[in-house]
Amino acid sequence: MNEIFDMQETTLNPSDSLQIVEFPHDGVKAYYITAQATEENMHEVFDRVSAEMAEHDAKIAFQYLFGGRQLYPKAVSAIKQLDWPLTLLHGDACPGECSITGTQFIALSGAELNPVTDGDRLVGNWYDTEDARYCLLGDIRADDLSLSREEQAHAVFEKMETLLKQADMEFTDIARTWIYLNDLLEWYDEFNVVRSQFFKERGTFDKMVPASTGIGAGSAAGEAMVCALLAVKPKHDGVKVFAVPSPLQCPALDYKSSFARAVEIDQPGSRLLTISGTASIEPGGETVHIGDTKKQIKLTMEVVHAILTSRDMDWQDTSRAIAYFKDIDEAHLLEKYCVENNLPELPVAISHADVCRHDLLFEIELDAVKAN
């Protein structure tokens, strides 16, 4: 069963804390670490997480860092000192003065991490348990930025397939993707055409469409698209990887967006439920509560909760979450909702980003873990 450790007493100042969720599975322990940092203490937060994981004999396998453009110089400097893969993103509309930085790490103990490289860049790791092979990759981007946005998207999907071969895995082993599009609102429909065509060519629709988050966020060099993925290759029939529907929403495929609402990885002793980026969309596929972030948060959280309870889980099983706000000044509304509805303290990172429609103001993705 997952266990949450509140590390606030070990943090650098009272406003910053680390939330660490430990998830044992099949002889391996995964640690999900969530932190909020500032431009001033970003290096210290990285060092603090590294030290905490060293105490657990765990190696960091993955990191996300979200922030404003002004964070780039220090962030890039910090990256050069890291020995783990990092995906660095900024919000499309962030004007530069926003100091909130959400960051998340995934670390592992009890498993040998095998590196996956894109040229001389470390972009991820794969590891084995008795039941399955797992691969977690990030910062996947096209090499040729002179290509059109659609061509870059196709190149990224091809690169995902190529990188997975280093772990002896196929494109159809992907259970979860994270897709960050620069200026998303200008070309999300065109991106969906590219994705759907690639899925069709690779047989994804014949096996399982992965869960996904699609968000408007920029990267350091201005790539049109940056991706991350989780792939799972079962070793026997005792491991099941399957799509989970949303009780309160229609399939995203109904409006030509090729992702599953959620995917569950069910293996002996434990289950991982990864819920796609979820927003204020009603059962027919239309946006609701236009212009009202508070009401959009309420509906979105109700949708996520319905997915959790459909799999015999609840908020306390959350291992990590990322909340995306079109207006970062409204981030406090999520905390207010959680307090008013008596939710436990969630390990959630905050990002300033565009959601996939002009009228969507909030989106959240969430993973939950539970012992069988």
- Give the DSSP letter of residue 330: G
- Whether 28 has a pLDDT exceeding 70, the answer reads yes
pLDDT by residue (tens digit) across 136-171? 999 999 999 999 999 999 999 999 999 999 999 999
Q: What is the mean pLDDT of the chain?
A: 87
Lowest pLDDT segment from 87-101, 114-128, 166-180, 183-197: 87-101
Per the structure block, which two tokens stand in for 121?
A: 């860049």
- Whether 135 has a pLDDT exceeding 70, the answer reads yes
Q: What is 1-110's CATH number?
A: 3.30.1330.10
pLDDT at 41: 76
- Whether 20 has a pLDDT exceeding 70, the answer reads yes
Confidence of residue 78 (pLDDT cuts 50, 70, 90): low
Residue 357 CB coordination number (10 Å): 17
Confidence of residue 10 (pLDDT cuts 50, 70, 90): very low
**What mean pLDDT comes out for the span 327-346?**
93
pLDDT at 92: 52
* Residues belonging to the chain: 372
Contact in structure between 7 and 34 (CB atoms under 8 Å): no
Q: According to CATH, where is 3.30.1330.10 located in the chain?
A: 1-110
pLDDT by residue (tens digit) across 100-127? 578 899 999 999 999 999 998 899 999 9
Please tell me which residue, 136 or 252, carries the higher pLDDT value: 136
- Whether 3 has a pLDDT exceeding 60, the answer reads no
Sorted by sequence, the CB contacts under 8 Å of residue 119 that are 6+ apart come out as none
**What mean pLDDT comes out for the span 244-248?**
95
- Rg over alpha carbons for the chain, rounded to the nearest Å, is 19
- Whether 359 has a pLDDT exceeding 80, the answer reads yes
Q: According to CATH, where is 3.30.1330.40 located in the chain?
A: 117-236, 238-372
Positive or negative CA dihedral for 94, 364, 322, 157?
negative
Round to whole Å and give the CA distance between 98 and 325. 13
- Whether 1 has a pLDDT exceeding 60, the answer reads no
Round to whole Å and give the CA distance between 119 and 141. 12
Q: What percent of the chain has pLDDT over 90?
A: 63
Contact in structure between 38 and 101 (CB atoms under 8 Å): yes
Q: Closest Cα partner for 333 from 301, 303, 357, 365? A: 301
Sheet with 270-278, strands from edge to edge, namely 240-244, 262-267, 270-278, 362-371, 318-325, 348-352
Contact in structure between 271 and 2 (CB atoms under 8 Å): no
- Give the DSSP letter of residue 10: G
Lowest pLDDT segment from 9-13, 76-80, 242-246, 259-263: 9-13
Round to whole Å and give the CA distance between 311 and 317. 11
Sorted by sequence, the CB contacts under 8 Å of residue 57 that are 6+ apart come out as 109
Superfamily of domain 238-372, CATH level 4: RutC-like (3.30.1330.40)
Q: What percent of the chain has pLDDT over 70?
A: 88
Alpha helices, DSSP H, located in 65-209: 72-79, 149-164, 184-202, 204-207
Indicate the class that CATH gives domain 117-236.
alpha beta
